[in-house]
Amino acid sequence: MRIAVAMSGGVDSSVTAALLQAAGHQVIGLTMKLWACAKDGGPDNARLAAARSDTCCSPKDLLDAHAVCAKLGIEHHVLEMADAFSGEVIRDFVEEYARGRTPNPCVRCNQRIKSKGLIERARALGCEALATGHYARIDDDPATGLRRLRTGLDDTRDQSYFLFPLAQEELRFLRFPVGERTKSQIRRVAAACGLPVAEKAESQEVCFVFDHNHRRFLRDRIPEAFAPGPILTEDGREVGRHDGLAGYTIGQRRGLRVAWREPLYVVALDLARNAVILGPDASLHAAGLAASALHWIAGAPPAAQAFRAQAKIRYRNPPNPCTVRLDGDRAEVRFDVPVRAVTPGQAVVFYEGDVVLGGGWIDARTG
């Protein structure tokens, strides 16, 4: 089988290519060039991209991907996708902050660029499948024959949260070879294959904010979101001033520059009053949330309007038992135990055991 591999320059995608080649497949590497970002309004971002190597999709990563493909003796195609990335991911990132929300660009990238964009390119190159280095698994539901998205075998690396917007057609074309392995196993395979990225550190930051300075990045694009305003307690007392709502997120404690008798956290962003609202840790806990723009892996929602599930409200959080009530394209989620820092703009993903049911985008906390 001719299989394209999305080569990020990291160890996971590199081992993906090596495993598929060892299994007898004809493998080609695809690397997205996303970092010509200066054209979207940030004059320094292309320069910063060239200087950094600790974010994914940097120029250094492209060179690493090329080196791995050369080591394996496979074709390597560099795909110019900066315009699509800027329009679909960076624009959404900026617009969400302008609305007083905290976006998740990794989910958007997987949804709009890595799945749809790379699958289209892979098909154009005559490939029958696209493989990535995601820690997730795909199989068939024995009851329905539909494709299922499942968590990766390594719970500490599972990336299924980022993949909830995948459609059945995409799941039939995708392969996730590393999802059946642990990270330590992947490192050992990379070393055994002599891959030049075997010991490469993982990227941790938003890939297009190359200096890790979110405020600078956003201020260059939406200066209106940095209008100064009041910092208020929950009962309306002004305890400080902020320099723009876009610089704050729910649950934040650092950088508030507020002296108080107890630790205070950002519990809300009031766009109408241009105010940051602070409260104690207890005020961060919510009984539920409201979500919209729902997507279901099976192509349709569960038959019952109310059902039990486990929900993750951010990537690193454990799944929380809950009851989900559906109303068209909206969901009301009630947790068995209140959860901390429900953040509008983040994804909520629903699980049944290790199977991803679907998810949506958080609009508000409830209760």
Distance from C-alpha of 11 to C-alpha of 167, rounded to nearest angstrom:
26
Residue 291's contacts (CB-CB under 8 Å, 6 or more residues apart) are: 330, 331, 333, 348, 359, 360, 361, 362, 363
What letter represents residue 130's amino acid?
L
Active site residue 193: no
Distance from C-alpha of 177 to C-alpha of 183, rounded to nearest angstrom:
12
Distance from C-alpha of 149 to C-alpha of 7, rounded to nearest angstrom:
21
Sign of CA dihedral 171, 83, 291, 322: positive
Q: Give the tokens for residue 116.
A: 């749809």
Active-site residue, from 57, 109, 127, 193: 109
* Burial profile 262-299: b = 16 or more Cβ within 10 angstroms, e = fewer: eebbbbbbeeeebbbbbbeeeebbbbbbbbeebbbbbe
Active site residue 322: no
Active-site residue, from 56, 106, 207, 322: 207
**Residue at token pair 């154009």:** 124
Residue 118's contacts (CB-CB under 8 Å, 6 or more residues apart) are: 4, 6, 30, 32, 79, 130
Distance from C-alpha of 227 to C-alpha of 204, rounded to nearest angstrom:
29
Which are the catalytic amino acids? 109, 207
